[in-house]
Each structure stands twice: as C-alpha cells, then as structure tokens.
Amino acid sequence: MRHVVLSLALAFAAFTACGFSAYENYLLSGRQTHVMLFAAARDGQSEALRSALKTLAGAQAANAFDQVKISNLSSFSKKLQDKPCFMVYFDYDGTNYLEAVKAFESVPHARELRPLLAPHPRAERQGTAWLQMEWINFIQGAKPSLTPKRSAMATRLKPEKESEYRLLHQSTWPGTVDRMTRMEYHDFSIFLIDLGEELYEMFYVEFVGTDAGKDKMGSRADPAYERWVKQTDACQNPLPDADGIWSKMDKVSEKE
C-alpha cells in the first residue's frame, strides 16, 4: 500500500510541476516574471534614444503599459563593443512570458523608439526591434518597497565556463539567497545575451533598505556567500571599467 501511495504522490507531483527545470517550473507557477530587453542605438541616435526612453516612465505612458500588464519600467545604458547599448527592464504579469517583448512593442510610446534602434540580429529575425534577453536567475530576497533604489550592472561570461555558471544558478545556494535578503536586496535577476562571439550578463536589483543598514550587514563575515562568489567569479570576464567583477550601467529612466 505504501508503494501505491508513493507512486500516486510522485505522479501528482509530476503532473502539477510538469517542467524538469527550476526555470520552467517558475514559469508554470503563474507568478510574476521579469524581463530585460536589449538594443543598440543607431549611429548618431544615442541621445535621442535616451531622451525618448525617459518618456516611457512618465505618467502619460503608464496607463498604456498597465493595459498590457507591464509595470515597474526602467531603462539603463552601457557602452559595449564600442556601441551605445540600451536595456529596458520591467515586471510582466502576462500569461506568456515569451510574448513580453511583443507586449512592450505594442505600446505606441515604445513603437516610436524603433527608428532610433539598431536591433540585435536575432531580434531582426524575430521581427522585433528589441531582443528579450535570456532570464537565467532570480532571487526575490527582501520584501518589496514602494520606493526602491533600482540599479543594474554588466559583465562578461567566459564561453568555456557557461555550462558551469548556468548550473550554479539553477541551484543558487541558500546562503546566497539569505545574504541578499539580509542586505535588503529585492527582485535580483540575471539576464544573458550573446554579442557576436562574446557572452554578456546583466543584473537588475532593487535595494529596499537604508545605506547605513546595508553597510552594517555587508561587513559581517559570510563564509557560504564567499565560497559561492569564489566559484562564480571564476566564470566571469570583467569589462575594462569594472570595479571587481561588475561594471555599473547608467540609469536612463525609471517609473515616476
């Protein structure tokens, strides 16, 4: 009888979970997803694009984005391979995560950006101006805040270390999750993109505490987290302007 009960329990778990990966199971859970879009600016259009992106976070565009279930919109820029590149981040409550880029581009304010963009080759093949980056890691961390401090950073991933890095982030260590929560970081996401032969990763995070609290918590020894970072750092190839592993991305706009 015990074997029958166990078999039924396993079958039920397989039926409800469906996906084999943590990523797929998260998507199947119906919880809010997080998106980062990528595009470069056309030659001579960097400042015009920067200005146009600022309008996306304004009150006029807010209702249109709400209609397609996009919220918490912000944008960032970073010069990569000598090109001005722009990233748009948002939370998405639509039913199909992979349609998030099309939902974004359905909004008139977003469509107006297209003449200013030099799309990634894969975006062009998909018929979009922006490329929806691969979402490879998520830590919810601390409780959300109505007035978080949003930031994003970038680095490169060594191609020969890609499999190791992905595997580490399919099973993020509990000590790392705990560290993020204690440091009062919320909604930490890592996104991956290929630019030619190079692999780039970018993270978005919200700080929901006080700077004094962060400094105090950051000074505490955390051996588990230090061991984690030692392994992940070995997979990464910093950009020339990096402070350690990560380089700061410039914030262009955020939700008003």
Distance CA(166)–CA(67), nearest Å, equals: 34
Instruction: Tell me what pLDDT residue 62 has.
Output: 87
pLDDT band at 18 (very low <50, low <70, confident <90, very high): low
Distance CA(33)–CA(132), nearest Å, equals: 12
Distance CA(240)–CA(49), nearest Å, equals: 25
- Among residues 102, 119, 122, 124, which one has the least CA distance to residue 45? 119
Tens of pLDDT, residue by residue over 65-123, are 999 999 999 999 999 999 999 999 999 999 999 999 999 999 999 999 999 999 999 99
Tens of pLDDT, residue by residue over 148-168, are 999 999 999 999 999 999 999
Distance CA(32)–CA(10), nearest Å, equals: 27
Residue 176: how many other CB atoms lie within 10 Å: 20
Mean pLDDT of 188-208: 97
Torsional class of 194: left (φ above 0), alpha (ψ -120 to 50), beta (otherwise): beta
Per CATH, domain 22-132 is 3.30.70.100: yes
Instruction: Tell me what pLDDT residue 115 has.
Output: 97
Residue 29 confidence (pLDDT) above 60 = yes
Cα separations (Å) of 233 from 4, 156, 161?
46, 11, 10
Residue 20 confidence (pLDDT) above 70 = yes
Q: Name the more confident of 97 and 213.
A: 97
Residue 219 confidence (pLDDT) above 90 = no
Residue 1 confidence (pLDDT) above 70 = no
Residue 243 confidence (pLDDT) above 50 = yes
Q: Do the domains at 22-132 and 137-251 have one common CATH topology?
A: yes
φ, ψ for residue 110, nearest 5 deg: -75, -35
Topology of domain 137-251, CATH? Alpha-Beta Plaits (3.30.70)
Domain ranges (residues) in the chain: 22-132, 137-251
Q: Name the more confident of 9 and 48.
A: 48
